[in-house]
């Protein structure tokens, strides 16, 4: 009989859910959210957009296919979305102590323990999800038997974009053998010599590595810069604003730099947080959703076309389409609740998507948006 410690999830409204620990044995707190995806827990755990959040999975089983190996190069993972876990904890109805996958080199439990992230199973996740849908996402804390209690923590009061963004400037390219190359860029950008390839500046607001992969595989080189970096001194062909966690109102430095870029005609594309920050730079407003969109099966319709796409999503804030200036318009609309899923400028090569066309994990129906952006360069 496997011995496990008692774990209790307490929500800020006093509701409690009791389960058992399978990860790191330590208490933690954050915003409790749910994801309805059936697969992809390694990608979700390392997605920077989950920074500060306790992730509850509605699919009843975790751990059955283990965890892929970590990468020697933390700046470009082959299998994960960042070099470390960003979730504060993960919750499931059941956990598989045995795993099987040709790529796995360890269990989910061992990975969580190595990164000091609690995991809880045995919780009625259907009841938890229903509660969050009715009441909205809320703060929560997990207390493990024998561990100290912790206070509630609201991650949306912190600038999580600053916390998850890169600190330096990095050039990404592809070697002749097809492998990825990463090069640190010094002040003055001496390494950015004239190249036959187009150059895309990627503003890192908490970027998923697959966004970088999707860009590089399309024949461009990528210059990844911090969220508050003044990229105007770089000779670039296109600008890309990444996904990221938390409240877009706190990423003011990014918005200020974007406003300057909007005065030019070089192509701009944004994903997730990038959609929100581009909208704010244009003059629109954002707001917090009741419980957000976190799944692999969100249907969005492309405005004016009648085309519907199934998209992976992970966001808790949205753009208020009614506040868009007259020279901007919605590009995609969520078919479940009518919220904004993307914007575009009516005359300039600027557009963005609230969902994740790079997937990882989830359906790749909208990866063509990377091709659209590259064709503008």
Dihedral sign, CA of 296, 9, 131, 63?
positive
Digit-coded pLDDT (tens) for 310-367: 999 999 999 999 999 999 999 999 999 999 999 999 999 999 999 999 998 999 999 9
Question: pLDDT 10s per residue in the chain (377 long)?
Answer: 588 999 999 999 999 999 999 999 999 999 999 999 999 999 999 999 999 999 999 999 999 999 998 766 667 778 899 999 999 999 999 999 999 999 999 999 999 999 999 999 999 999 999 999 999 999 999 999 999 999 999 999 999 999 999 999 999 998 888 778 888 887 666 667 767 889 999 999 999 999 999 999 999 999 999 999 999 989 999 999 999 999 999 999 999 999 999 999 999 999 999 999 999 999 999 999 999 999 999 999 999 999 999 999 999 999 999 999 999 999 999 999 999 999 999 999 999 999 999 998 999 999 999 999 999 99
For residue 181, what pLDDT is reported? 84
pLDDT tens for residues 170-180? Answer: 999 988 887 78
Question: What's the CATH number for 160-376?
Answer: 3.40.50.880
CATH topology agreement for domains 6-157 and 160-376: no
Q: For residue 256, what are the contacts with CB-CB under 8 A and spacing of at least 6?
A: none
List, in order, residues 6 or more apart from 196 with CB less than 8 Å away: none
Q: What is the pLDDT of residue 146?
A: 94
Catalytic residue among 31, 43, 341, 358: 358
**Is there a catalytic annotation at residue 358?**
yes
What is the domain class of 6-157 according to CATH?
alpha beta
- pTM of the complete model: 0.96
What is the predicted pLDDT for the residue at 133? 97
DSSP string, 285-334: EEEEEEEEEEEEEEEEEETTT--EEEEEEEEEEEEEGGGS-TTEEEEEEE
**Looking at residue 195, what is its pLDDT?**
74
Residue-level pLDDT at 196: 82
Q: Give how far the C-alpha of residue 280 lies from the chain's centroid of Cα atoms, to the nearest Å.
A: 19
CB 266 within 8 A of CB 249: no
Domain borders along the chain are 6-157, 160-376
Q: What pLDDT was estimated at residue 191?
A: 67
How far apart, in whole angstroms, are the C-alpha atoms of residue 169 and residue 171? 7
Tell me how far apart the terminal alpha carbons of the chain are, to the nearest angstrom: 61
The predicted pLDDT at position 187 comes to 66
Catalytic residue among 31, 272, 293, 296: 272
Among candidate residues 9, 11, 17, 56, the one with its CA nearest the CA of residue 37: 56
């Amino acid at each position: 009989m496997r011995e496990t410690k008692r774990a209790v999830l307490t929500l800020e409204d006093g509701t409690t859910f009791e389960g058992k620990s399978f990860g790191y044995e330590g208490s933690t707190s954050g915003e409790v959210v749910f994801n309805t995806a059936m697969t992809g827990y390694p990608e979700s755990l390392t997605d920077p957009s989950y920074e500060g959040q306790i992730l509850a999975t509605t699919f009843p089983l975790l751990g059955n296919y283990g965890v892929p190996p970590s990468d020697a190069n933390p700046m470009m993972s082959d299998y994960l979305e960042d070099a470390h876990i960003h979730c504060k904890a993960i919750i499931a109805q059941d956990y598989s102590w045995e795993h099987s996958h040709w790529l796995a080199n360890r269990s989910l439990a061992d990975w969580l323990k190595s990164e000091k992230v609690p995991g809880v199973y045995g919780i009625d996740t259907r009841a938890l999800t229903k509660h969050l849908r009715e009441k909205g996402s809320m703060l929560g804390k997990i207390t493990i038997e024998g561990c100290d209690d912790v206070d509630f923590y609201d991650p949306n009061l912190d600038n999580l974009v600053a916390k998850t963004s890169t600190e330096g400037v990095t050039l990404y390219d592809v070697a002749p053998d097809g492998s990825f190359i990463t090069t640190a860029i010094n002040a003055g950008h001496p390494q950015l010599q004239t190249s036959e390839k187009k150059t895309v500046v990627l503003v890192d607001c908490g970027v998923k590595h697959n966004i970088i992969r999707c860009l590089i595989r399309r024949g461009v080189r990528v210059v990844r810069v911090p969220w508050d970096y003044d990229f105007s001194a770089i000779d670039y062909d296109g600008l890309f604003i990444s996904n990221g966690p938390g409240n877009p109102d706190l990423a003011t430095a990014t918005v200020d730099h974007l406003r300057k870029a909007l005065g030019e005609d070089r192509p701009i594309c944004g994903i997730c947080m990038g959609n929100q920050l581009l909208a704010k730079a244009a003059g629109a407003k954002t707001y917090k959703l009741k419980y957000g969109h976190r799944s692999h099966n969100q249907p969005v319709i492309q405005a004016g076309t009648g085309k519907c796409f199934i998209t992976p999503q992970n966001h808790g804030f949205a753009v208020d389409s009614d506040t868009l200036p007259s020279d901007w318009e919605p590009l995609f609309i969520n078919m479940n609740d009518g919220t904004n899923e993307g914007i575009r400028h009516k005359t300039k090569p600027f557009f963005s998507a609230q969902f994740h066309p790079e997937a990882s994990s989830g359906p790749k129906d909208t990866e063509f948006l990377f091709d659209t952006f590259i064709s503008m360069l």
